Amino acid sequence: MVAHKRKKGGIVTPQNTRIKEGKALRTGVTTGSCATGAAKAAATALLSGQTPPTIRMKTPGGEEVFPSL
């Protein structure tokens, strides 16, 4: 069981945490995921001349997300 603790960037809860090597790791969309999505959208816009309304990407935990731009 993981205690609810305030950490930089949000609250750690059992719903957004997994345990690896005895440490609680947050899951889901993070700052790095947002930066990756922005870079992917920018590259798509530069190469195609059109800005996509959404992009498809996977988080490091393997979750597939479709953020809107």
User: Which of these, 27, 35, 15, lies nearest to 61 by C-alpha position?
Assistant: 27
Does the residue 68 lie in any domain?
no
How many domains does the structure of the chain reveal? 1
Does the residue 6 lie in any domain?
no
pLDDT at residue number 45: 94
Does the residue 20 lie in any domain?
yes
pTM: 0.57
Phi and psi at residue 13, to the nearest 5°: -130, 160
pLDDT at residue number 44: 93
Does the residue 2 lie in any domain?
no
pLDDT at residue number 3: 39
The whole domain housing 18 covers 12-63
pLDDT at residue number 5: 41
pLDDT string in tens for the chain (69-residue length)? 333 344 455 555 666 677 778 877 766 677 888 888 899 999 999 999 998 888 898 877 777 888 887
Does the residue 37 lie in any domain?
yes
Q: Take residue 6 and report the two structure tokens written for it.
A: 């305030």
